[in-house]
């Protein structure tokens, strides 16, 4: 069976149909929007990416999208509160191409991170989370610095247990707890510095998608090639892709690196 935008649109509409929902399809952008009639809030999904995943994962790709749309729409209905839920505020890493505001045009709270990544802040709601925007902050009178400090404090409390693998003399560490904040551990300064001290070669870091953090101790040129292939593979399979590039970690800074074949190029 060949999957195209029309078939994928029909499949998603059928799976997500409810009395209080409306669907609109933007043919030019190849995007499907699902909205809650009662709140006017909704989620817009890009079909080409889902179709690409369907080619490899079939029904699993559709199941994932349906799950995240259902959870996302449910979170929009919930009356979210920051006060009393301080322990549920976390930073999340996203690509710099990720929208800077909600579908309703309300700016998200963000911070610059690298040329490839940006920091957003989220209120964890259990099965899903809501990105913190100006409206949510204003409703409760929280200032941005309080949210940022709270989020960074909380991310330092998350487990940093890692699995490791050695390939051609290079050591690769993987953090994959599937709690939605694996990539966020890149913001745990003390953890990153500790890994840097432990590295015998050059330390590189990758956050291909939100559910994995890769730290590499690179000791030869092959290590760069392995890291590039690994990062691209994770990036292509992630539910929330971030970047297929890796970063060198030097003097407390993350510098994106472009790896071409056997050569590395900053």
Distance CA 66, CA 45 (A): 11
Instruction: Name the token pair of 132.
Output: 């913190």
Distance CA 18, CA 5 (A): 21
Distance CA 246, CA 254 (A): 9
Nearest to 211, CA basis, from 179, 164, 233:
179
Q: How far apart are the first and last CA of the chain?
A: 43
DSSP 244: S
DSSP 88: G
Distance CA 88, CA 86 (A): 5
Instruction: Name the token pair of 140.
Output: 């409760």
Q: 126-153: b or e for each residue (b if 16 or more CB lie within 10 Å)?
A: eebbbbbbeebbeeeebeeeebbebbbe
Distance CA 66, CA 261 (A): 38
Instruction: Name the token pair of 126.
Output: 């259990």
For the chain of 266 residues, list the mean pLDDT of each consecutive stretch of 10: 88 90 91 84 86 85 83 68 92 90 84 94 84 88 94 96 95 94 96 96 95 96 94 85 92 84 48
Q: What residues does 24 pair with on adjacent strands?
A: 33
Reduce the DSSP state of residue 224 to 3 states and report it: helix
Please state the φ and ψ torsions of residue 161, each to the nearest 5 degrees: -65, 135
Instruction: Name the token pair of 213.
Output: 């953090």
What pLDDT score was predicted for residue 128? 73
What pLDDT score was predicted for residue 49? 84
Give the torsion sign (CA, 149, 154, 155, 161).
positive
Distance CA 233, CA 258 (A): 16
What pLDDT score was predicted for residue 264? 47
What pLDDT score was predicted for residue 41? 79
């Amino acid at each position: 069976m060949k999957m195209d935008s029309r078939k994928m649109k029909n499949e998603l509409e059928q799976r997500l149909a409810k009395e209080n929902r409306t669907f609109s399809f933007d043919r030019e952008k190849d995007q499907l929007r699902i909205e809650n009639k009662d709140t006017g809030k909704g989620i817009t999904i890009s079909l080409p990416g889902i179709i690409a995943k369907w080619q490899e994962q079939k029904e699993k790709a559709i199941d994932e999208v349906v799950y995240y749309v259902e959870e996302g729409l449910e979170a929009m209905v919930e009356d979210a509160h920051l006060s009393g839920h301080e322990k549920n505020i976390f930073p999340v890493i996203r690509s710099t191409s990720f929208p800077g505001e909600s579908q309703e045009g309300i700016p998200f709270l963000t911070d610059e991170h690298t040329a490839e990544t940006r920091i957003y802040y989220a209120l964890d709601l259990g099965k899903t989370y809501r990105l913190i925007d100006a409206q949510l902050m204003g409703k409760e009178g929280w200032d941005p610095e309080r949210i940022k400090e709270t989020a960074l404090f909380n991310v330092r409390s998350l487990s940093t247990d890692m699995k490791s693998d050695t390939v051609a003399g290079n050591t690769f560490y993987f953090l994959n707890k599937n709690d939605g904040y694996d990539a966020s551990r890149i913001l745990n300064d003390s953890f990153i510095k500790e890994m840097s001290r432990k590295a015998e070669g050059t330390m590189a870091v990758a956050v291909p998608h939100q559910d994995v953090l890769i730290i590499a101790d690179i000791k030869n040129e092959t290590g760069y090639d392995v890291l590039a292939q690994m990062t691209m593979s994770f990036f292509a399979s992630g539910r929330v892709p971030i970047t297929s590039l890796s970063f060198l970690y030097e003097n407390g800074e993350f510098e994106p690196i472009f790896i071409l074949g056997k050569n590395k190029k900053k």
